[in-house]
Amino acid sequence: MVQRKDLDKLVRQADNHSASIIIGARQVGKSTLLGMIRERLARPSEMFNLENPLHLALFNEGYTSFIRTIRTNTIFIDEFQYCKDISSVFKAVYDLNPQIKIYATGSSSMEIQAHLKESLAGRKLETILYPLTYGEWLSRESLHERPGPSSDITEVMSPDELEAHRKNLGEFLRYGALPGLLALSEDLEKREYLFGIYQTYIAKDIKAFLKEESVLSFNKAITWLALHNGAQLNKSTLSGVAGISSRQVDRYLDVLVGTFVLALLPPLANNRGKELTKTPKFYLYDQGIINSIIQDFRSIDLRPDSGMLREQFVFWELKKNIDIRFSLHYWRTTDGKEVDFVLRKDQELLPVEVKSSWNPPALPSGLRHFLTLYPETRSAVVLYDGPEHTSRHGPCTIYFAPLHKAFVLPAF
């Protein structure tokens, strides 16, 4: 079993009257996490899975039927999106039964928007569950002998530890971070598992949301996105490749974002210098799914897109570990100066550059230009395949660290 980083937070919500809602893409571990919460609370509770027709019928009959049936004050509801009017049940429980605590999972924010609407404003605590972080992936029982990621960005690891993390990252980036992979050992099994998830996503979520629109054109669109993962989003090119209108492109993107399969990264725009672009970058949610779509499971060192694989890894490590206090951006000027990521918290900026190899204390040119335009910056990070190193650039401290330490950055 993998200890999810959100578990402690969710357990602490047990005495909060608001419904605790866990949402995310398919097969990221929502049902398993729900079971972990139930086990940790160790109090009388009931579990309902709305994929079960008997349980679904109970909820479809509404609040009165539900409240007459339950026998405990802690209720767990899995796959709540199958109930068309689940929001009325949640709202009634919150308003009329303050002693009842509900934990519930759903597969996508689009379904939540359809079922919960605005009726649960102020009545729910929402957690987005992503595929495993690198730290969660390392914590699985069979890997206790492997070194865990250090939470100190300046702590220098031994050459053996650094090499161990390089090998671990190679596997992490080859098959991705979906929890179901942890029970599989063979290459073919893992590939079949990933392809099955993608096919299920197309068969269920896409057909449900796109309805009369062509699934073939959607497949063309998502294949193009997988091949260009991490690039700026060119809607006109995507429209031409998939053979669809700009309206359909927007619809496809809404579905991908709404089902947590794609995230958009906006540019940093403070009206300084030549920051004129408003085009976001895009990242698909799991490298294993990407590799399945494009049919390329080669080692990272053999891939022509090895730089982008590293960038994808850092993006999701940041995305999975930031909270509401942060915003995440990229920075690029019209003359080509670029920094891969910029974390912003309370208007303080932390630029982050991702490299495969580098020679500290030299600064990447884009980062150097950023520090010229943002002289108030006090810290900057270069993540690469080498060891830890710290230097100064004027008033700014530059931290050089291995890629796997990306998760530390929100703690700055």
Residue 122: its pLDDT value, please?
81
Domain-ending residue, one of 129, 159, 179: 129
**Average pLDDT rounded to a whole number, residues 351-374:** 95
Split at pLDDT 50, 70, 90, the class of 114 is low
Distance CA 266, CA 269 (A): 9
Flag whether pLDDT at 295 surpasses 60: yes
Statement: residue 111 has pLDDT above 70: no
- Does residue 329 lie in a domain region? yes
Q: Which residues contact 152 (CB under 8 A, 6 or more apart)?
A: 408
Same domain, 123 and 161: no
Q: In whole angstroms, give the CA distance from residue 244 to residue 222.
A: 13
pLDDT band at 139 (very low <50, low <70, confident <90, very high): confident
Query: Do residues 101 and 245 share a domain?
Result: no
Q: Which residues constitute the domain of residue 62?
A: 7-129
Q: What is the pLDDT of residue 85?
A: 83
Mean pLDDT of all residues in 61-68: 91
Rounded CA separation 191/187 (Å): 6
Length of the chain: 412
pLDDT at 275 over 70: no
Long-range contacts of 150-153 (CB under 8 A, 24+ apart): 150/405, 150/408, 151/408, 151/411, 152/408, 153/381, 153/388, 153/399, 153/401, 153/405, 153/408, 153/409
| 212 & 97 share domain | no
Are 109 and 173 members of one domain? no
Is 72 within the bounds of a domain? yes
pLDDT one-digit tens code per residue, 167-192 = 999 999 999 999 999 999 999 999 99
Residue 331 covered by a domain: yes
Q: Please check whether residues 122 and 235 belong to one and the same domain.
A: no
Q: Determine the Cα–Cα distance for residues 260 and 258; give it in Å rounded to an integer.
A: 5
Q: How far apart are CA 195 and CA 150, in angstroms?
A: 33
| Reported pTM | 0.92
**Would 1 be classed as within a structural domain?**
no
Same domain, 157 and 109: no
Domain C-terminal end among 63, 98, 129: 129
155-166 tens-digit pLDDT: 899 999 999 999
156 located within any domain: yes
Measured on CA atoms in the order 133, 134, 136, 141, is the torsion positive or negative?
Answer: positive
Return phi, psi of residue 342, to 5°. -135, 115
Residue 127, both tokens: 């957690």
Same domain, 117 and 208: no
**Within-domain flag for 2:** no
Q: What integer is the mean pLDDT of 118-147? A: 80
DSSP E strand boundaries for 337-387: 338-345, 348-354, 379-384
What is the arithmetic mean of pLDDT over 44-68? 93
**345 lies in some domain:** yes
Count of domains observed in the chain: 2
**Better pLDDT: 347 or 264:** 264
Comparing 173 with 336, the larger pLDDT belongs to 173
Q: Are residues 176 and 70 in the same domain?
A: no
Q: Are residues 364 and 358 in contact, defined by beta-carbon separation less than 8 angstroms?
A: yes
In this structure, are 110 and 183 located in the same domain? Answer: no
Which pLDDT does position 145 carry in this prediction?
53
Residue with tokens 């006109």: 236
d(C-alpha 47, C-alpha 70), whole Å: 10
- Assess whether pLDDT exceeds 60 at residue 146: no
Q: Which residue has the tokens 């629109």?
A: 213
54 and 83 share one domain: yes
Same domain, 220 and 348: yes
**Pairing assessment for the beta strands 396-402 and 389-393 based on DSSP bridges:** antiparallel
Residue 160: inside a domain, yes or no?
yes
Mean pLDDT, the chain, integer: 90
CA distances from 64 to 68, 70, 174, 334 (A): 6, 11, 49, 60
CA–CA separation, 7 vs 22, rounded Å? 11
State the Cα–Cα distance between residues 206 and 229, nearest whole angstrom.
20
* CATH code, domain carrying 16: 3.40.50.300
SS3 147: coil
Tell me the C-alpha distance between 313 and 354, whole Å. 10
Which of 129, 146, 167 terminates a domain? The answer is 129
Mean per-residue pLDDT, 65-77:
94
Do 266 and 363 reside in the same domain of the chain?
yes
- pLDDT, average across residues 84-98: 90
| Positive/negative CA dihedral, 309, 22, 33, 145 | positive
Least confident of 17-21, 78-82, 104-108, 167-171: 104-108
Is residue 184 within 8 A of residue 171, CB to CB? The reply is no
